[in-house]
Structure 1
Amino acid sequence: MDGILFLLPEKSGKQKFILAEMTIKTIFTCLVLFMPICLKATDAIEQKIAEADSLLQISLEKTREVDPGGSIKYALEALSVIEKTGYSKGKAIAYFRIGDALYNLGNYKKALEYLTLAETENCSAKDPLVDSEISRVRGRTYGAMGLFDASVKKFKKGLKQIEKIKEPEKKDYLKTLAYENLAHIYKDMEVQDSVYAYLKKSSKLLQRMDEPFVFTSWINLYGSLGKYYSEKNKYDSAVYFFDQSLAMAKKYEFPYTSRTYQFRSELELKKGNLDSALYYSAKALNNVKDTHLDAELPSIYRKMEKIYEKKAINDSAKLYRGKALVAENELTKEHMDALDYAVNTIIEKETNATVVEAKKAIAFIFGGFFILILAAVVVLYTRKRKSKKIIREKEAEAKKLKQKLSGYSDEVIRLGKENDPTFVTKFQAVYPVFFQSLISKHPNLSSSDITLCAMIFLNFSSKDIAHYTYIEHRSVQTKKSRLRKKLGIDAKANLFLYLNSIAEPNDMQISPQTASSA
């Protein structure tokens, strides 16, 4: 084109017409030449999108079959296919599927990370269905970690998005899921009126929908109603709904029944039917082993421990207490990391919202801009100085503690200082005689009590324990006071001396005479 223009510097009307004609012909020729390539590229992208959608559908089916591993596998394959296609919705759904599966596996931190990836896709904010589902699973994850207020907020945010969905059946189905989740959260918050209100809302919607489409919601609803009536001591109604839940699961060959079996076991335990309670707990345990939803193991083991204690079968009670401790320790670090990540995410979102509001205010009050900048600089400088001071103090404390504890087993001490979930397991291995003696003499101790005993036995001071377990010093004193009551010793008794007194010489780290006050 530049060559043509150069040859015709002074254009007459006819020349302009010729130039325009040549330009059109050139453009047309280019289109003819490149059209097949463009169409081929477009077809290839469309094929990849279709393949990704097919994989995501399989991932969804695996979720419905309670196969989280399979759901993750096909979602990851979909992500691999989607790469470089620009298919934002597909990526958001794939990230969501992985996050949902990880939640069901109890890996809450990774679940939140993938849900965040799903949220950052451009389509998520524009698609109310995708956004509502992300909010719902994030709400479930927050609830599982005890962040109930944040959980309720997410569910209600999801409900607002659901209202924007045009298809009535899809809208009603998503509402039933949100209502079911809210009922579960309010149960954990012990707000029974709200539990029943949301279960009733869910039931009303489900009754006007085709059963094969929503049978999983019916299974969960019947189980939740059974739990509600069990806690109200209306046992006949509770049994009716538990039976309905299990019958529906059998009818549609739904593999996940451990939740209902656990509820039924609790009911039988309340009624004093220990053999029946044990039967349903065993059913729940077998189902968890089939579905690999290991996050439920601690509660099942604890229930079985309690049943065997009531049956006075101490060996079995001790066995399941040990299993519960191992399962709890395996989950503790993951839950702590997830909790830290969740809290930081919530704070970050709130901070971002505040920044947006600040920007709006600055548009109206431009004169305050420089004051805000100055204030921010001052705050950052102050925080930096404070952070350096805290770091120096923490380093000094760490050095002092390191010198103080140098005579103990390095590996066990390190795990205790890091608040590692394997601390108790390692402690048990290093001090087996003391550990067995402790739980034999005091079978009523919780996993938290045993961890505290281990730290005291290793001569951690109250200040050390507070520092490494991230609680206040006065909270440690309170926990020690409660521990003395459980151990049945005097309120002023030295816990370190007592714990060393029940250990054999090979297990003792230092003599009681050299112990600091515990």
Structure 2
Amino acid sequence: MLIYTIGIGLCLLINSCQKETQDKERENFDYSLLTQSSELQLSGKYEALIRLNIKYLKKAGKMKYEAGKGLCYLNMAGVNVSAGNYEKAHFFFNKAEKDLGNSGNAYHKAAFYDDYGQYYSHLKLYDKAIDCNNKAFQYLKEAKKTELSTKLLPRLYVNKGIYYAWKGWFGTSLKSFTKGNMLENSAYTNCMVAQYYLFVHQPDSAGIYIARADEKMLSQKTSDVESLWVYFTMGYYYNEVNKNEEAEKALKKALEINIKTRRTYSSHIKEVYKALAELYKKKNNGGKAYFYLKKYMEEEGRFDTARFIAMNKATEDFISETKKESDWHKNDLPLFIAMSITVLTLSGVYVRKIIGRQKMKKKSLKEETDKLKSHVHTRQLKEVIELAKRNDSSFLLKFRELFPEFISALLKINPDLENSELTFCAMLKLRFSSKEIADYTFVQHRSVQQKKYRIRKRLNIAGETDIYEFFENIK
């Protein structure tokens, strides 16, 4: 009996040791995979990130560790969200959910719902994002306290602050940002508190946290992506308080970092373009303002397209799953049809609403773009007129940049026109009088009249046609 009891005890002890060894091995797997993946994603090393997750996917297979596979899929979903590839992200979230759903580790589910919340936030579905964030908090409370769970907690608070800010619940938002910053106190979390104060138009309060974020960025190890966001926030803040030079310097720094991180975090850069457009508009530099506004519109358009594809894909998946689960009995058919119609109707209403908002936004941006284009043209026209008045040798070159088709149209009429004749035609296009042309080119008034006569002959302009009207009609 004693031997039997000892034998059972030894078996239990061996099983316990094996379980502890397996748990430790899986903990090490999680920590190594998630830490390395985060570092590679935040530094923009896309190829290395893919290789790492393929390696760990194989390792998880050998370990028979389903949740380990799920974490690899979750990493791939996260990087695709950050890059704006929402359709691919949706695919990987589905795979991650299957492998993490049965995990006994509550941290896995907390991490899944945190990333899923960020996905919905990118799609501007803030209610769904908040729901996922609440689930992430719930699972994290149940999770064993580890270095990974300690790191995740402040980020959950920061993400909660973002979602509630967009919903307009500013009290809850500020409490969440403040709590996250209190727990982490990094360049990024200080920056996010500053972002909140800029969002609610309190630049004085934002300035305090901008200074702290800058100090933390210098004293702590800060990833490239988080540095990009800090520099963007600094630029935004300096722009608000009319420190244009500091704003330009910070935003240009953010653009530099984007070159390294655009493969894994391209979603941030459109805000930098928008801030630069606003800055140059304020500095009365219409050319650069128009350039960056155009870049912002291109990025925003790309993300809008990706959002619509993702929403349509989610709707299709829902209908497909409902179809699979239905046995297609006679009694089930009306229910399935009703559900499908409901889903399609709600999706249609929602998409129309989003499209309406985007149309308004694009109309506003187009008006601003047209205004900037007009401003740029006016400024360039003044510059060209000044060059003509000074009889500057670069006049014709700058004129061609402003009216690219004009010279080509003249050369089509007469390919033998000389540069001096083209310059004279350009001055007539600008509606300079004969006296003005004589004064600016240091010739007699009679010489200008003779030149006009020669130009009429060279371009076959009828005698009864007003020469200024002729050139005005050449675009």
**Same topology, TM > 0.5:** yes
Q: CA deviation at 1:374?
A: 4.2
Alignment of 1:277 with 2:247, yes or no, is yes
The one of 301, 313, 320 aligned to 1:341: 313
SS of the residue corresponding to residue 95 of structure 1 reads: helix
Inter-CA distance 276–137: structure 2 relative to 1 (3 Å threshold): same
Inter-CA distance 272–346: structure 2 relative to 1 (3 Å threshold): farther
CA distance in 1 between partners of 2:201 and 2:333 (Å)? 60
Q: CA deviation at 1:437?
A: 7.9
The one of 88, 106, 110 aligned to 1:132: 110
Inter-CA distance 310–90: structure 2 relative to 1 (3 Å threshold): same
Matching residue of 2:72: 94
CA distance in 2 between partners of 1:94 and 1:330 (Å)? 27
The Cα offsets for residues 333-374 of structure 1, whole Å up to 9 and x where unpaired, read as: 22221233345668889x79xx9xxx9xxxxxxxxxx9x954
Inter-CA distance 185–506: structure 2 relative to 1 (3 Å threshold): farther
Q: CA deviation at 1:442?
A: 8.9
CA distance in 2 between partners of 1:109 and 1:63 (Å)? 19
Matching residue of 2:216: 248
Q: CA deviation at 1:53?
A: 8.1
Alignment of 1:120 with 2:101, yes or no, is no
Whether the aligned pair in 1 keeps the contact of 2:86 and 2:310 (CA below 8 Å) is yes
Q: CA deviation at 1:233?
A: 4.6
Inter-CA distance 158–348: structure 2 relative to 1 (3 Å threshold): farther
Matching residue of 1:440: 373
Alignment of 1:306 with 2:278, yes or no, is yes
Which runs of structure 2 are paired with 1:502-513 in the superposition (5 Å)? none
Q: Which amino acid aligns with 1:237?
A: S
CA distance in 2 between partners of 1:122 and 1:191 (Å)? 32
Whether the aligned pair in 1 keeps the contact of 2:238 and 2:246 (CA below 8 Å) is yes
Matching residue of 1:377: 333
* Number of corresponding residues: 329
Which runs of structure 2 are paired with 1:440-459 in the superposition (5 Å)? 440-441=373-374
Q: Which amino acid aligns with 1:94?
A: C
CA distance in 1 between partners of 2:143 and 2:169 (Å)? 30
Inter-CA distance 193–56: structure 2 relative to 1 (3 Å threshold): closer
Whether the aligned pair in 1 keeps the contact of 2:286 and 2:375 (CA below 8 Å) is no
The Cα offsets for residues 175-211 of structure 1, whole Å up to 9 and x where unpaired, read as: 222111100111222321111111233244x2xxxxx
Whether the aligned pair in 2 keeps the contact of 1:284 and 1:300 (CA below 8 Å) is yes
Whether the aligned pair in 2 keeps the contact of 1:124 and 1:131 (CA below 8 Å) is no
Moved more, 231-240 or 102-111: 231-240
Alignment of 1:174 with 2:122, yes or no, is no
Which 5+ residue runs of structure 2 have no aligned equivalent? 1-23, 346-361, 363-368, 377-471
Whether the aligned pair in 1 keeps the contact of 2:113 and 2:133 (CA below 8 Å) is yes
CA distance in 1 between partners of 2:333 and 2:64 (Å)? 40
Q: CA deviation at 1:224?
A: 1.4
CA distance in 2 between partners of 1:185 and 1:116 (Å)? 23
Query: Please, what is the CA RMSD of the aligned residues?
Result: 4.2
SS of the residue corresponding to residue 144 of structure 2 reads: coil
Alignment of 1:261 with 2:231, yes or no, is yes
Inter-CA distance 246–103: structure 2 relative to 1 (3 Å threshold): farther
Which runs of structure 2 are paired with 1:43-442 in the superposition (5 Å)? 58-63=36-41, 65=43, 67-83=45-61, 86-121=64-99, 124-167=102-145, 171-204=149-182, 206=183, 214=184, 218-254=186-222, 255-256=224-225, 257-292=227-262, 293-342=265-314, 374-379=330-335, 440-441=373-374
CA distance in 2 between partners of 1:49 and 1:232 (Å)? 42
Q: Which amino acid aligns with 1:377?
A: L
Whether the aligned pair in 2 keeps the contact of 1:63 and 1:71 (CA below 8 Å) is yes
Moved more, 135-144 or 318-327: 318-327
Q: Which amino acid aligns with 2:95?
A: L
Q: CA deviation at 1:134?
A: 0.7
Q: CA deviation at 1:140?
A: 0.8
Matching residue of 2:462: none
Inter-CA distance 280–227: structure 2 relative to 1 (3 Å threshold): same
CA distance in 1 between partners of 2:260 and 2:216 (Å)? 19
Q: CA deviation at 1:92?
A: 1.1
Q: Which amino acid aligns with 2:245?
A: D
Q: CA deviation at 1:69?
A: 4.4
CA distance in 2 between partners of 1:194 and 1:437 (Å)? 39
Q: Which amino acid aligns with 1:220?
A: Y
Q: Which amino acid aligns with 1:282?
A: K
CA distance in 2 between partners of 1:49 and 1:160 (Å)? 21
SS of the residue corresponding to residue 154 of structure 1 reads: helix
The Cα offsets for residues 91-146 of structure 1, whole Å up to 9 and x where unpaired, read as: 01111121222222222222232122111016654221111101001101111110
The Cα offsets for residues 211-239 of structure 1, whole Å up to 9 and x where unpaired, read as: xxx5xx62222011212333455434322
Q: Which amino acid aligns with 1:316?
A: K
Percent identity between the two aligned chains: 17
Higher relative contact order (CA 8 A, sep 6+): 2
Inter-CA distance 329–60: structure 2 relative to 1 (3 Å threshold): closer
Inter-CA distance 125–345: structure 2 relative to 1 (3 Å threshold): farther
